[in-house]
Every structure is written in structure tokens, then in C-alpha cells.
Structure 1
Amino acid sequence: MLRVLRVRDFRLLWAARAVAGLGTSMLVVAIPAHVFAVTGSVLATGVTLAFEYLPSLLLGPFAGVMADRWDRRRLMVATDLVHVLAISVALLARTPETIWLVYVAVLGQGSAAVLFRPAGQAHIPAVVGTGPALTSANALSAVTTGVVALGGPPLGGLLFAVNGIGAVVAASAAAALLSAATIAMTSARPRDGGPASRNVLASISQGLRHVRQAAATRGLLATNSLYLLANAALTALLVPFGVTRLGGSMEVGYLLSALGLGFLLGAPVSRGLADRHPARTTVAAGQALVAAAFALLFNSTALPLALVSAVLLGLPAVTVLVSVQSWVQRTTPEGLLGRVTSAFLTMEAAATMLGAFAGPAASELFGMTAALNAACAVALLSAPLTLWLVPRRPGRDLAGPAATGARRGRLPSPGGE
């Protein structure tokens, strides 16, 4: 898996995304904590979380158009710079009357992140090709994202507790500037395929038309969204479960560490599985195993069994992620890749937001045990749906001259330059 780092441009891109991701994740705890410290209002803090989801839902399709229409390398650099400007606005919110500036900052930072993600994912095949190096790149990126997501929020919370919001914003801005400088060092890449339509809505329609016509891609989009909804509901209930059933916040920390360890252990294996087996098989099997591991975790009465279950979650979870992403990158025509990637990311945001609210709501209405088992059942349901909706031989997804490179498994030169 680490051999892909020999490709210079991917090494730079990976480092930039890791640094930028760390800077962004440091804001997850610090920004709501700052809002609560200034206002003392739980509602105001909740509004902050709502503004974090809003850009993904509103701008996702447009982000895909921009990723297909503009130079993706320059777009990533520009969004890093927008992040710096946007998050700096939070420094001006020092009183309850000016707390609305935090919402502006979160909205701007979230918009920049939404524009960055489809461009970043669509750029990876141009850097490493569509052969085995692509799954290695996706697996390594998934591990890095998981590690950053686990380590960044507590680091940001600690920095906020010690030095205040100014230190967190400065660290996040510095990370974005370093990311922009690193991406700017990568090589310019020629684009394949024709430009997107000048009409934005027509461009979005082109991407959606491809998803509708590509049976396997359409099926994966539907079943992966259902799986992510259940996953978000289960994740939202993880902290209450750990506190009430396993002993307290320290036990929750152990569970999160076990999840991170499982992700790390699963990434190298996921690369081989995604390369050797059809996406239909690896995704369905991964979804079923994730549901089983969650069921084992949430029906545990002792911490050791819960920790083993959390570790076991890692392998299938990262396999699903890598398999879906690699499929989209390999089978989508290059000129549509940003828009199709954006469709997956937008559905991911919608499913995650819905699941994050549905899990706790179901727990309040029916009890935690019923809510947990229902979410596990929904996650399990996504597996047979994948086998049903994704064709065994999805040849139509590779139709058309724009996908010729994907069929050939094009690889860059060993140096990546």
C-alpha cells in the first residue's frame, strides 16, 4: 500500500490532504465549544452543527461541475485559501451579538471543503492511473482520513482549552496554507474528454444522466447511501452506549481507539480485496460484516468483547469505502468524474445528517436497544440490495470512448512525472 507514495505527485497530494484534514478536524470541537463559551446557549451551538452540513447539501452538485470544468489542481489550491479567509472570520465573534460571524465562518469553510473533495478524488486517477496503484492510493487516503478524524478533534479541543479559539484558528489556517503550497508543487496534468457544458444545470444533468444509465454505479449510489445512513445512526449512539452500558467516557475513548486500530489493520487487506474481486461482491460482503460487527458490539455487556468487535469493524468498513471509490474512479469517464463523485459525496452528506438525527430520535422513542438493533438491520439490508441492484457484469458502465483509459488500466510512469 505504501509503495504508491513513490509517485511524487501523489505523495505531495496525500501529504497536503492529511495536513489540511488535520487542520479542519481541529475545528470540530473547538468551534462549537467557542460558541457555547460565548453564548452559553445549547441552541446556538446546535445551529453551528447545522451550518456544517448545509454546504454539502446545497453545493455538492455545483462542486462536481467546477471539478470537471476547472483545473482541479488550481481549484484545490483556491479552496485552501478560501478556508483560511473564512475561518479567520470566527476570530471576530467575541460577544453573543457577533456570534453570527461564526456561522459565516463555518459556512465559508464548509463550502471550501465541499468544493475541494470532488476535485481531490477526481484528481487521484490522473496522478496514479487506474490500475492497482489506485486502490493503494484510496486505501492509504482512507486510513489517513480515519486517523485524522480520530486525532484532530481532541487535539483541537485541547488547544482551545489551553490557548483559546485564536490558537485553533491559527493552526487550522496554517495547515490550509501548507496544503495549498504543497498542491501547487505538483505537476500540471492534461485533461481527457471534452469540457462541461457552459450551462451549470445542463452540466449537472449530464452527470446525473451518466449515473442513471450506468447500472452498477446507480446501484452502488443507492445501497451505499442506505448503508451510510445506518452507519451514521449507529455512530451517533456509540457515545451514549459506551457511557451507559460499558462504564463511562474512558471506555468510549477505548472504543474509538479500537475503531481506529481496526481501520489501520484493514486498509492493506482492503486493497487486495478491491483489486481481486468485483465491487459488487466486496461491497455487499463488507456491508454485511459491518452490520454483524456493530450488532456484536452493541450487544456486548463487557468491554473486552466490545473492543474486539470495534477492531473487527475496521476491515469491512474500509473495504466498502475503498471498493466504492475505486469503482467510481475507474469506470466514470474522466470528463464526468467530478460530477459523479459529487453525487456520491452529496448523498453521503445527506445520509450522514439524517442518520445522525434518526439514531438518537429512535433511541428516545423506542429505547436504545431497539434503536441500535434496528440500525444494524438497516445496515444488513444494504448487502442484499447491493447484490440485487448491482449487475454481475456491469459492462454498460464502461461504455463510450471516454472510458477507454479505465478499461486499459492506464498507469503513469514510475516517477509519476
Structure 2
Amino acid sequence: MRDFRLLWAARLIATFGTGLLVVAIPAHVYAVTGSVLATGLTLVAEYLPVLLLGPFAGVLADRWDRRRLMFATDIAHAMVISLVFFARTPDTVWLVYLAVLGEGAAAVLFRPAAQAHTPAIVGTGPLLTSANALNAFTTGVIGLGAAPLGGLLFAVVGIDTVIGVGLVSYLVSALAIAFTRPRPRDRDFSRRVLPDLKEGLGYIRQAPATRALLVTSGVYLLANAALTSLLVPFGVTQLGGSTQVGYLLSALSIGFLLGAPISHRIVDRLPVKTTVAAAQGLVAGAFVLMFNASSMPVTLIAAALAGIPGVTVLIALQTWLQRTTPEALLGRVGAVFLTAEAAATMVGAFVGPTLGELIGLPPALNAACMITLLASALTFWLVPNPAEDRLSDDRAELTTQSTDERLAQ
């Protein structure tokens, strides 16, 4: 499908541009300031827009033409990162923070629109699962190579080249989106934002499976963020150094890539409750093996095994939301999950190192693994059985009808 190929290419190119900056921008800040604190603030600036703007991004995705919104955010991406060109001294490093804040704001506006636009292009049948699996696969490939490449480019040719490549990638992404076909949508700009937010949250309250998955995915992501924050100390103290950390991250990424095509076959055959809970449980088991293995090869194999069900969780959850959420609410519901993801990640990134300081590294790692396993148990317990999901579907249909009636007025 032509439109999906263009959208996929746009996301691929923009993700590559963003990936180049993951290492290069903090490295630039450290080179300019020599401050670890100043460098760490770039991560705060990256997550802050998600927490503040996440729900509002969903309202915009449901009100506005999603194609135009994605185009505009790509242009905004290109404009804000160009500010880094002018950050050359400690006195001007605030421009980097402003650029990262702007980049984060543009990204949080783009994601709900792209997730909601995908089923409008490919439908909600098997092609949707294939589309999500392809997006996950390509995101994994980019994640495996873009960040190290950005760091290498920074070291060899400097920050200007990295920013220049990123800027071009956003402009090319915007061009690809511009070539997709317009898909007019009825929208009412006279309504206030808060009622729209309440409507999205009201749908989640009325949909038992969606509400449960929001809770359990939050617990799961918190545990994963805690584990991720402890990977570097684990690699240095238990595996032998930073080189081993690189091997570990590569093994996780390889598992992520292998899991994308496998997930495509699983998601369409099993209920979301079974798929997500089982995958979360397998991730917990693989992490326990990884952090308690007695040899490096076993650790790397366990890391790859963790990546396979890890991507299955993401694809199953996203596909289920796209299929069951009313089209008129899809942006808002997706944005709520995006905001919860950012909040859980920030809490987990704080909890992991704190536990490591209080009880030691090995107990902290195993505690985070048990929280991952708890997420699996909660999914089995809280998510309704497939037969009970029909109630959620009926309520979603009623919500869609009432929303359409209001938009028609």
C-alpha cells in the first residue's frame, strides 16, 4: 500500500535522525560544560514534554488532520534541533536544553498521530499486525545502529554534521508524509480541551481490558526501566567492563529484531490477555537467567531471549488498542498510554539505582525481575477473558456513536 510505505519510510528516516542525537547531544553538552549534571539534564529535558503534553497530544491527534499534524511536527523537529548549532559555550548551553525540549514536544505530538493514522491506512485486520511488526523491526534496527553511529560522527567530524544529518532526516520525513493522500476527518475546533480529555479518560474507565492493560503495562515498564538503569553497573561490576555492556545491549537488540516477525504470527492467534501475560512472564524469566548466569555466553543468550517476548508485549498491546479503540478516540487513548509509559520509565529509572544503593546490586536486579513477573500475574488477573471483552467492545461502539453525534452537531 502506497500510503503505508510512505508513512513507514517517514517514521524510519525520522527515527534514524533522532537516534543519531541520543549519544551526540549529551556528548556535546559534556564537551562544552565538563559537567555530569549538565549532561544529565538533557535526559530530563527529553522526558519532560511527554509528561506535560502527552494527554494534550492525543486531543490534537483526534481533532486535527493527522497527516498535517505529522508533517508540521517534522518541520518543527528540524527547526528546534538547529538551535544546537549556536550552543558553543557554557553560557549558551541552554539552547541545547531548549532544542531537546522542543524535540521532545514534537515527538510526543507525532507518535499518537502516527499510531492512530496507521489503522486508517491499512485497516484493522491482519495487515495491521504486519504493519506494527514491521515498524517494531525497523525501530529495532535503527536503535541498534543509529546511536553508536551518532556518537562516532560526533567524535570524528563534530556536532554540526550530526545535527545537519538529523535536520535533513526530518525534512525528508515531512516530504514523504506530504506525498500521502489526504484523509479528511470531521472535527470540531469549538470544543474545549478538558472535555475532550475527560472523554478519552472516560472511555478507558469504561473499557475493562484497556484499563487493566494501562495498569499492568505501567508496572511492567517501571520494572524494565529499573533494570535498564542497572545494566551499566551490572556490566561493569559483574561482566568485566563497558565493552561487555555493549555486547549485552546488542544481544537485547538482536532478540528484539528476531521477536518482531515471530510476534506477527502470535498476536493474531491468541487473546491479548494470554499474549501479553505470557510474554511478560518470559521476559521476567529471561532476565532472572541473564542477571544470575555464571558465564558470559549464557548471559548473552538470556539477553537475546528477553528481547523476543519483549517486542511481543509492545506489538500485542499497540495492535489491540488500535483494533478496539474507537477511531475518534484513538489519539487520546494512545497518548494516555504514552504518558503513563514516560511516567513509569522515570520512576523506574529512579527506583533501580535507589534499590541498588540500599540493598546492593544483585538483590536490586532480582527485585526488579520479580516486579516484571508481578506485571505478568496482574495481567492474568486483571485483564478480562475474551468473552468479557465483548462488553468493552459494546461500550466502545456506544462511545463512538455519541462522539460522532457530537461532532456532527
Same fold (TM > 0.5): yes
Q: Establish whether residue 172 from structure 1 lines up as the match of residue 166 from structure 2.
A: yes
Q: Which amino acid letter does the alignment assign opposite residue 396 of structure 1?
A: L
- Post-superposition shift, 1:43? 1.2
Q: Establish whether residue 379 from structure 1 lines up as the match of residue 372 from structure 2.
A: yes
**What stretches of structure 1 move > 3 A for 4+ residues in a row?**
193-197, 401-404
**Is the CA contact (8 Å cut-off) linking 1:197 and 1:203 kept in structure 2?**
no
- Structure 2 unmatched runs, 5+: 402-409
Q: 1:27 aligns with which of 21, 43, 64?
A: 21
Distance 2:391 2:154 in 1: 52
- Post-superposition shift, 1:20? 0.3
Query: Which TM-score applies when normalising by structure 2?
Result: 0.95
Give 1:317's aligned residue.
310
Distance 1:315 1:280 in 2: 18
- Post-superposition shift, 1:159? 0.7
Distance 1:338 1:197 in 2: 18
- Post-superposition shift, 1:263? 1.3
Residue deviations 1:281-329 (CA, integer Å, cap 9, x gap): 1000011000010110011121110111011112211111111001110
Q: Which amino acid letter does the alignment assign opposite residue 36 of structure 1?
A: Y
Distance 1:167 1:228 in 2: 34
Distance 1:214 1:236 in 2: 33
Q: 1:10 aligns with which of 4, 9, 17?
A: 4
- Post-superposition shift, 1:171? 0.7
Q: Establish whether residue 116 from structure 1 lines up as the match of residue 110 from structure 2.
A: yes
- Post-superposition shift, 1:360? 1.4
Distance 1:369 1:159 in 2: 36
Give 2:214's aligned residue.
221
Q: 1:66 aligns with which of 51, 60, 68?
A: 60
Q: Which amino acid letter does the alignment assign opposite residue 52 of structure 2?
A: L
Give 1:47's aligned residue.
41
Give 1:288's aligned residue.
281
Give 1:188's aligned residue.
182
Distance 2:189 2:234 in 1: 47
Give 1:415's aligned residue.
none
Question: Which is worse superposed, 235-244 or 48-57?
Answer: 235-244
Q: Which amino acid letter does the alignment assign opposite residue 123 of structure 2?
A: G
Residue deviations 1:171-209 (CA, integer Å, cap 9, x gap): 110100010001111111243x76577201111111000
Distance 1:100 1:257 in 2: 33
Q: 2:390 aligns with which of 378, 388, 395?
A: 395
- Post-superposition shift, 1:342? 0.2
Distance 1:150 1:225 in 2: 25
Q: Establish whether residue 337 from structure 1 lines up as the match of residue 303 from structure 2.
A: no
Q: Which amino acid letter does the alignment assign opposite residue 32 of structure 1?
A: P
Distance 1:21 1:154 in 2: 14
- Post-superposition shift, 1:25? 1.3
**Is the CA contact (8 Å cut-off) linking 2:26 and 2:42 kept in structure 1?**
yes
Q: Which amino acid letter does the alignment assign opposite residue 391 of structure 2?
A: R
Structure 1 197/286 Cα, relative in aligned 2: closer, same or farther at 3 Å? farther
Residue deviations 1:323-346 (CA, integer Å, cap 9, x gap): 100111000000000000000000
Give 2:93's aligned residue.
99
Q: Establish whether residue 202 from structure 1 lines up as the match of residue 180 from structure 2.
A: no
| Aligned length in residues | 397
Distance 1:195 1:157 in 2: 45
- Mapping of 1:120-159 within 5 angstroms? 120-159=114-153
Q: Partner of 1:355: helix, strand, or coil?
A: helix
- Post-superposition shift, 1:401? 5.5
- Post-superposition shift, 1:165? 1.1
Distance 1:282 1:71 in 2: 33
Give 1:234's aligned residue.
227
- Mapping of 1:237-316 within 5 angstroms? 237-316=230-309
Residue deviations 1:225-283 (CA, integer Å, cap 9, x gap): 10011011111211221221112222222212211211121111111111001101100
- Structure 1 unmatched runs, 5+: 1-6, 405-417
Distance 1:397 1:120 in 2: 24
**Is the CA contact (8 Å cut-off) linking 1:196 and 1:203 kept in structure 2?**
no
Give 1:367's aligned residue.
360
Distance 1:261 1:274 in 2: 20
Give 1:3's aligned residue.
none
Residue deviations 1:133-179 (CA, integer Å, cap 9, x gap): 11111111111112212211111111111111111110110100010
Query: Which TM-score applies when normalising by structure 1?
Result: 0.93
Distance 2:193 2:391 in 1: 26
